[in-house]
Amino acid sequence: MKDETIVKYIEGELGEEEKRRVMEWIFSTQENQERYNLLKAKHTASGFNIPVLDTEQAYLRVKEAGRNKKLRQVLIRVTSVAAILALGLLIFNVLNSRGSGSALPGIAETELVEEITPKGVSREIELPDGTQVVLNVDSQLRYSRSFTDSIREVFLSGEAYFEVQRDTTRPFIVHAGEMNVKVLGTSFNVRSYSEDTDVRTTLVEGVVEVGSAYAAPVKLEPLQAAMLNREEKHLKIKKVSREEAVSWKEGKLIFMETPLEEVLEDLERKYDVNFKVQSEALYEYLYTGTFDNLTIEEVLKVLQISSPIDYKKEENKITLY
């Protein structure tokens, strides 16, 4: 079978009949499985690490060390997961900076609702006005039990996706650390984790107005992201893809030339694990690629193939060296 056909299968570009033929070919012989595993490893790691490493040699090292069987199982599982994914019109919204105190300005504590998600767990929430929220891992959302004022305000730390119920008489405002996002009815994403350098709002549909104490209010167009640098107090607007905007709601983590330190922070939140890096040289690597609904064990295998990284895992503690 041609490599081009196998790659199209990996990327999910084949029809059902073609996919069936490729799967039959893969599992027909041990040699075919090994060839497929190598192509999958190359494809997963091809753009994932800067500088790019020799993934074929990395694969052979793993195989020679007696771990090729486990690696084959991981890569096959990655493909089976990727093959059934369906892209949805969802939105990515991440908010940070946990507020101090239990009450919000002008809201009695007895009227306050506080929703909290631990690491590794996300959940859906419906606000009093019908607005739908997906609260991502390691996040906190606070709001009034009943939106009776002239504005609808929520305070969010961590990450959340909003589909706001339209109400032209009452704007909806998200307070996310240094950034405030004002909308009437739309879908958007805000990210404001305390560890992040930037607070970010990404608009998917509708209109939002982004403001802060450091920059004049700016209206975003769909698939634009506003990034407020906490240190430089500078607001930057850039174009994004729909996939970037919705990735976490679909179980994905997407990185674009991202330092290892930031990659590990996202992995810790998603999988509720703790990383320890023994080699400072690993921090010099930038990562570009997608973890597509992988388990933490599969993520570690991809890092091992694409980088000069080895690891030791003991329960939820992972050491990289």
Q: How confident is the model at residue 96 (pLDDT cuts 50, 70, 90)?
A: very low
Let me know if 87 is exposed, middle or buried by CB neighbors in 10 A (0-12, 13-18, 19+).
exposed
CA gap 155, 144 in Å, rounded: 10
Let me know if 88 is exposed, middle or buried by CB neighbors in 10 A (0-12, 13-18, 19+).
exposed
293/166: higher pLDDT = 166
pLDDT on residue 218: 92
Strand partners, 176: 179
CA gap 150, 80 in Å, rounded: 49
Mind listing the pLDDT tens digit for each residue in 188-213?
999 999 888 899 999 999 999 998 88
Class of domain 109-246: mainly beta
Mind listing the pLDDT tens digit for each residue in 259-300?
889 999 999 999 999 999 998 888 888 888 888 888 899 888
Mind listing the pLDDT tens digit for each residue in 20-60?
788 778 767 778 877 776 776 666 555 454 443 343 444 44
pLDDT on residue 221: 92
223/37: higher pLDDT = 223
103/44: higher pLDDT = 44
What's the CATH code, domain 250-320? 3.55.50.30
pLDDT on residue 125: 95
Residue 99 pLDDT > 90: no
| Torsion angle of C-alpha atoms 51, 54, 55, 56, degrees rounded to 10 | 170
pLDDT on residue 126: 95
pLDDT over 90, % of the chain: 36
Asked whether 155 and 180 are in contact (CB, 8 A), the reply is no
pTM: 0.62
Residue 132 pLDDT > 60: yes
Every domain of the chain with CATH number 2.60.120.1440 lies at 109-246
Residue range 87-109: mean pLDDT, rounded: 35
pLDDT on residue 142: 93
Mind listing the pLDDT tens digit for each residue in 53-78?
343 444 444 444 444 433 333 332 33
Q: Strand 208-212 relative to strand 218-220: parallel, antiparallel, unpaired?
A: antiparallel
Strand partners, 258: 287
pLDDT on residue 43: 63
Residue type, 158: G
Residue 103 pLDDT > 50: no
CA gap 182, 151 in Å, rounded: 10
Rounded to 10°, the helix 296-306/260-271 angle is 160
Residue range 229-258: mean pLDDT, rounded: 87
Every domain of the chain with CATH number 3.55.50.30 lies at 250-320
CA gap 93, 208 in Å, rounded: 13
| Torsion angle of C-alpha atoms 241, 246, 247, 248, degrees rounded to 10 | 150
Q: Mapped to the 3 state alphabet, what secondary structure does the chain carry?
A: CCHHHHHHHHCCCCCHHHHHHHHHHHCCCHHHHHHHHHHHHHHHHCCCEECCCCHHHHHHHHHHHHHHHHHHHHHHHHHHHHHCCCCCCCCCCCCCCCCCCCCCCCCCHHHEEEEEECCCCCEEEECCCCCEEEECCCEEEEEECCCCCCCEEEEEECEEEEECCCCCCCCEEEEECCEEEEECCCEEEEECCCCCCEEEEEEEECCEEEEECCCCCEEECCCEEEEEECCCCEEEEEECCHHHHHHHHHCEEEEEEEEHHHHHHHHHHHHCCEEEECCHHHHHCEEEEEEECCCHHHHHHHHHHHCCCCEEEECCEEEEC
pLDDT on residue 92: 25
